Structure 1
């Protein structure tokens, strides 16, 4: 039986139905290549960040090495003892749910959170490019703007605390990764700051059609570093050794993944790995991501020579991605900038 649509749901079913009508096909699966197979749930490398504050040099060194190794071999890892209180995380989730449960009309038209509400994939011309999700993509510079919150007064204070805590953690980890390469944090600090970073609140409604529909299409992140706070529903999958693996949720951990810019900056020592979110027919899913980004005019280059990539600005990179997606339906990313 198909789930009843609620007033808070975006018209995802309508958009999906329109795509089916246009294409006159109902796929059994979204995957059509050798990367489709999903093997059993995996547990990402789990790193206790308490080692970074240890007075024992060997313990700190071991923690740095674990972070660097996971960034090279997986492109993903999870962290505990990360410094963000469980109380703040619970409060953030409570406020997030409250916003997404409001009516679709209000989310879409009341300029909430800097008018950053997005749903589905308006430009999708194929079912494999369609995302069954909704989100608010919020610049950190707009989080303090009282006019962006309307009736959601309590959300502002929680978001401010949450974004500050995530920013602190992002810089801690970025510093560790830069240090491991024998580089100074100063160049990275000059092009990334709180004025250039984003938070994205995600909601994946129950999908009554098929568990093979993407909640978020396969992609790599276009930033330096992403921190993800997810619930226990599951659905996140990543590409490991040419196989899709399902990430087993850990209620005590945050997930970290390397973005395209860190891969380029590290000259491919760290890996930006393709990942996706699959839908669930029985339960909805929530997550919040923090993106460590530079300004659009910032020049990104490899920290070592000979460089594998030509220098490019973040704005140039984003523009190329948008052009590729418009023309081909998918992101090409870093291969466009190889020397």
Structure 2
């Protein structure tokens, strides 16, 4: 049996100037978790707990509205992604509805006017999680031993970040899939979920439930970090299992990479240390389009779905 506990890291040490030992210990936990399976949790992360709780409460109210009210926030036709309210495509086996948003101020956002507080709370949560993403990115930079601000300069454009408020419908007798097994394509993802739970991470071939804890953010590493690190850090394999008898509510924040970026293993993890690159280089937008196609035109066989292994160099 694997250890069922997902590591929890206290980030308060990174808000203090004089706690180098605390920072070192936190980075050791993060490095170990990301080297093994790419998942950990954070507390004392700087995002107000009452704000996260209020966001969940308001999302529950919104998703209970009649369809005609929710559809007032349908995505704009010219948006690069469906920002606004959407249901999962009917051909998908995933069973959820969601409200997607770009950074506050984006012209593509279509945010609901009701409940009255919801729009402002969404923007406040987004802004706070952006700061958390910048902090976690700098910690990963240190864990890698890269030059100061290397990742921040490589990934300086925050206009590509996304956040989704999600509702997963209750499981049925024959179907409990919320989101099927996958890895995120981005840099870092943050999740906070209600007490229904349902998020699971794959560790050593076993599915481990991530138990909800108030004020805790779940963090997972995405494909971008796996490629840059030449597999030193793992992109986390995870899924959502829908609970029976109730809906599940959560928020997911995706700390992203600019679509036009060229992506390949960094020389610090390949040629500089005599290691062959495990991935061929590619433009990130090409991979994003392939991932979108997985959803819009699902392959007949699950093994034909495009994942980051599409760019793997066979040796």
Q: Give the TM-score taking structure 2 as reference length.
A: 0.85
* CA shift for structure 1 position 216: 1.0
* CA shift for structure 1 position 220: 0.8
Question: Structure 2 stretches of 5 or more lacking a match?
Answer: 77-81, 271-275
CA offsets 1:89-113 (integer angstroms, 9 cap, x no match): 1221122112211112332354369
Aligned length: 295
2:197 is equivalent to residue 197 of structure 1: no
8 Å CA contact 1:143, 1:159 repeated in 2: no
How far apart, in 2, do the equivalents of 1:145 and 1:321 lie? 21
Which residue is 1:337 aligned to?
311
How far apart, in 2, do the equivalents of 1:41 and 1:208 lie? 30
Q: Name which of 21, 40, 43 aligns with 1:80.
A: 43
8 Å CA contact 2:83, 2:102 repeated in 1: no
Which residue is 1:206 aligned to?
170
Which residue is 2:251 aligned to?
288
* CA shift for structure 1 position 170: 1.0
Which residue is 1:103 aligned to?
66
How far apart, in 1, do the equivalents of 2:110 and 2:235 lie? 36
Q: Name which of 59, 62, 66 aligns with 2:22.
A: 59
How far apart, in 2, do the equivalents of 1:106 and 1:41 lie? 45
Q: Name which of 197, 201, 218 aligns with 1:255.
A: 218
Change (3 A) 1:147 1:198: closer
8 Å CA contact 2:101, 2:163 repeated in 1: yes
Change (3 A) 1:118 1:112: closer
Query: How big is the alpha-carbon RMSD for the aligned residues of Structure 1 and Structure 2?
Result: 2.5
3-state DSSP class of the match of 1:140? coil
* CA shift for structure 1 position 271: 0.8
How far apart, in 2, do the equivalents of 1:225 and 1:60 lie? 19
3-state DSSP class of the match of 1:42? coil
8 Å CA contact 2:37, 2:237 repeated in 1: no
8 Å CA contact 1:52, 1:63 repeated in 2: no
How far apart, in 2, do the equivalents of 1:329 and 1:323 lie? 14
Q: Give the TM-score taking structure 1 as reference length.
A: 0.79
* CA shift for structure 1 position 198: 0.1
Question: Structure 1 stretches of 5 or more lacking a match?
Answer: 1-38, 125-129
Q: Aligned ranges for residues 142-181 of structure 1 at < 5 Å?
A: 148-181=111-144
* CA shift for structure 1 position 79: 0.8
8 Å CA contact 1:51, 1:60 repeated in 2: yes
Change (3 A) 1:189 1:141: farther
8 Å CA contact 1:207, 1:280 repeated in 2: yes
> Mean Cα displacement is larger for which, 308-317 or 177-186?
177-186
CA offsets 1:281-301 (integer angstroms, 9 cap, x no match): 212111001101112111122
* CA shift for structure 1 position 247: 1.9
Change (3 A) 1:119 1:193: same
